[in-house]
Structure formats: C-alpha cells, structure tokens
Amino acid sequence: KRGLQYLVLSDHSKAAYYAKGLDEERIIAQHQHIDELNKKLNPFKIFKSIECDILNDGNLDYTPDILKTFDIIIASVHSNLKMNEEKAMMRLLKAIENPYTSILGHMTGRLLLSRNGYPVNHKTIIDACAA
C-alpha cells in the first residue's frame, strides 16, 4: 500500500482534437463518473482537471460554466507557436489572469530537440503567476 491521498486526472481540452480532447458532453460524463468514485473511495479523492488550450487571444477554450466544474485547470499553449514576444506575452498574461487558471503548462510550445519555443519574458510570467 502506498497510502496516497489523491489522484489528479487531466485530459486535453476540446481544441486538442489531435489528442481526442474532451468536449463538453464527455466532460459531464467524466465528472459524473469521478463523483461516483469519490463517494466510493472516500477519503481518497480524485481531482477533476483539464489541460486547457490557451487560444490565440489568450482565452481558454471552454466557457466559465465549464471551467468552474474542474478542481484544477492547467492552461497550456498547443498552437500558433510562431508569435512574436509581444503577442505571446499578451496571450500568456491573459490566460494567467483568468480566475480559473491553476497551473501554467509548457508556455512556449517548445518541443525538446525538435522545435524552439516562442520568445517570452520569463520574469514577467513568473511575477504574474506569483501575483
């Protein structure tokens, strides 16, 4: 026995169609199943999470009505990876300011040994996350 107290399940959001991201209907079904498991497994807890796409304009790819149903939102960049620093920073800062964002994931779109990420001001990003 490991004695773990919780598990976080996190799928890709709907914009990540290439990863079979969850649409709203699948989210509702998944959350119902997690709720049932949480009742059975109490005090062990399964947290509802999503790796939500940061869209080009900095918005996340679900409405607040859907976002509020999650325990954890990981906001990540998955597309339009050739922005200049000004546009990339606007995009990231807006996502960080979203009240539902819990974690900022792979913010530059860098793919190790394959693709450089776009330029960002790391200090500004860290300061915004810490604020």
d(Cα 60, Cα 116) in Å, to the nearest integer? 23
Ordered structural domains, the chain, with CATH: 6-130 (3.20.20.140)
Q: What is the mean pLDDT of residues 69-88?
A: 91
Helical (H) or strand (E) element with 104: strand 103-105
Structure tokens at 11: 């799928």
Say if residues 33 and 41 touch (Cβ distance below 8 Å): no
Write out the DSSP string of 35-69. Answer: HHHHHHHTTSEEEEEEEEEB-TTS-BSS-HHHHTT
User: What digits encode the pLDDT tens for the residues 103-129?
Assistant: 999 887 777 777 777 889 999 999 999
pTM over 0.85: yes
Residue that wins the pLDDT comparison between 93 and 20: 93
